[in-house]
């Protein structure tokens, strides 16, 4: 029997135990001989790995577990790498959210100026990870990447490491499908969807169950309840916080204006930024919610486990853990299963640039994703995507060239920001907060260099 070696880059993530449980649930499909946890913050990782080891021990004693801060130890001879890095951790996420909000601009982790800031911090560390894997891992190893902001990270890797064996994924479309399935009274796996766009910036155009398109039925439900069932317990642990309930309710607002397709929930930030800011708590953002919730719970669970030997929290598997394991099994076994992933356009949507990193249905094989042809998209959606794509592409140029003016252009083009004046004010405050991460941009800003 073929077994695989897996490395988890970002082993200190609060999502790690849930992903490990998902792997353990699927050991027959993806037999593992070794799991290696890698993080630059060894102290944080060591606490998370306590929980991960306890989960593994519930299933097997045959998997070798390694935790390390050394890239060679982490990636040598591995078959797969799960990437889930958070550069700057939650302290920087809080600034990503609160600095824009202080200017009455959307403050969100992956969308708007907070997402652009997070992207500027993450591109080079992701490229470094790609290089480590290229140097140490098996030549046919795959990186399965969850690191946010996924669209910007995918564009950065495409530009700087075009030959990388990396599959960029996001669980937001899958989480949206989970809600669709709950509303329709079916299993998520029963849905066959068509979708186009960029990551966190796309639309579902078909939702089939047993060959019947039920999008119109979902549309009528959304008009009444948003993309939620009356019983919110059907939403998994990762998307059950009050901010997520609000996000899924806001799909109603989007479809009240644009009823043609079912939107990715994050389009609320781009289509209704004024409303989002008006209804945001500038003092207590999603970062605070996560730190006081999921993160606090994890480390308290680890503390109690070390004292009592009892793992109180079962780290139930949600769509986040399930999805990354699903696509990895399809990669490993060459199953050609159909999932929504990010890949280079190359004619899949003919009226978008060939080098756009789009998110569409694709068959996942051992050689990578094979996209389904989408065809030309209507002009309204094309125009929105073109603007967002330009913002993201120019942002990657800004960090790779160390260009303040390109960073300002990227912020100005982002639809969440109302003017160039506001874009500059937000960017300058974010540069001050990110001096250690963006030294060249900080220097240009300090010197007043705009060309």
Look at residue 404 and give its three-state secondary structure.
helix
Q: How far is CA 79 from CA 1, 72, 122, 139, 366, in A?
A: 15, 14, 23, 9, 12
Instruction: Give CA–CA dist 441/358, Å, rounded.
Output: 28
How crowded is the C-beta side of 389, counted as CA atoms within 13 Å?
19
Asked if the bond preceding 201 is cis, omega within 30° of 0, the reply is: no
Q: Which residue has the tokens 């399965």?
A: 144
Nearest to 395 by CA among 220, 151, 167: 151
Catalytic site residue from 146, 261, 266, 437: 266
Instruction: Tell me the C-alpha distance between 102 and 428, whole Å.
Output: 13
Q: Tell me the residue length of the chain.
A: 451
Give the separation between CA 58 and CA 245, rounded to whole angstroms: 32
Q: CB of 289 within 8 A of CB of 240?
A: no
Q: Tell me which residue of 318, 177, 170, 323 sits closest to 236, measured CA to CA.
A: 318
Of the listed 171, 194, 236, 326, which one is catalytic? 171
Active site residue 118: no
Tokens matching residue 97: 């959210």
Residue 106 CB contacts under 8 Å (≥ 6 apart), including other chains: 100, 112, 113, 114, 269, 273, 276, 277, 280, 416
266 has catalytic annotation: yes
* Structure-block tokens of residue 235: 């939403």
- Provide the 3-class DSSP secondary structure of residue 362: strand
CA distance 208 to 270: 27
CB 102 within 8 A of CB 282: yes
Query: Which helix (H) or strand (E) covers residue 337, if one does?
Result: strand 337-344
* Catalytically annotated residues: 171, 266
């Amino acid at each position: 029997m073929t077994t695989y070696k897996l490395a988890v880059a970002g082993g200190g993530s609060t999502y790690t135990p849930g992903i490990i449980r998902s792997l353990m649930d699927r050991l027959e499909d993806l037999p593992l001989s070794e799991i290696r946890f890698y993080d630059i913050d060894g102290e944080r990782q060591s606490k998370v790995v306590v929980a991960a080891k306890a989960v593994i021990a519930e299933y097997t004693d045959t998997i070798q577990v390694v935790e390390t801060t050394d890239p060679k130890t982490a990636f040598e001879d591995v078959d797969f790498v799960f990437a889930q890095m958070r550069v700057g951790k939650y302290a920087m996420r809080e600034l990503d959210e609160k600095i824009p909000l202080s200017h009455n601009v959307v403050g969100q982790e992956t969308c708007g100026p907070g997402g652009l800031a997070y992207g500027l911090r993450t591109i080079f560390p992701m490229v470094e990870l790609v290089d480590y894997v290229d140097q140490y891992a098996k030549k046919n190893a795959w990186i399965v990447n969850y690191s946010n902001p996924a669209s910007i990270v995918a564009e950065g890797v495409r530009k700087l490491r075009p030959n990388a064996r990396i599959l960029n994924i996001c669980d937001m479309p899958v989480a949206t499908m989970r809600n669709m399935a709950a509303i329709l009274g079916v299993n998520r796996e029963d849905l066959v969807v068509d979708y186009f766009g960029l990551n966190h910036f796309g639309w579902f155009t078909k939702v089939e169950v047993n060959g019947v398109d039920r999008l119109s039925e979902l549309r009528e439900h959304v008009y009444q309840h948003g993309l939620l069932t009356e019983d919110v317990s059907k939403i998994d642990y990762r998307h059950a916080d009050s901010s997520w309930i609000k996000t899924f309710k806001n799909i109603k607002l989007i479809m009240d204006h644009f009823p043609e397709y079912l939107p990715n929930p994050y389009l609320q930030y781009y289509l209704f930024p004024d409303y989002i800011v008006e209804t945001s708590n500038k003092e207590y953002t999603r970062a605070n919610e996560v730190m006081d919730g999921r993160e606090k719970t994890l480390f308290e669970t680890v503390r109690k486990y070390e004292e009592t030997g009892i793992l109180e929290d079962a780290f139930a598997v949600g769509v986040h853990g399930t999805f990354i394991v699903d696509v990895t099994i399809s990669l490993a076994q060459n199953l050609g299963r159909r999932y929504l992933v990010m890949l280079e356009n190359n004619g899949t949507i003919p009226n978008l640039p060939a080098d756009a990193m789009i998110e569409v249905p694709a068959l996942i094989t051992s050689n990578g994703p094979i996209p389904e042809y989408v065809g030309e998209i209507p002009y309204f959606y094309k125009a929105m995507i073109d603007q967002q794509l330009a913002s993201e592409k120019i942002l990657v140029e800004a960090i790779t060239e160390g260009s303040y003016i390109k960073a300002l252009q990227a912020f100005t083009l982002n639809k969440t920001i109302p003017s160039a004046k506001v874009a500059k004010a937000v960017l300058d405050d974010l540069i001050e907060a990110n001096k250690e991460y963006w030294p060249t941009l900080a220097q240009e800003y300090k010197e007043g260099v705009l060309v």
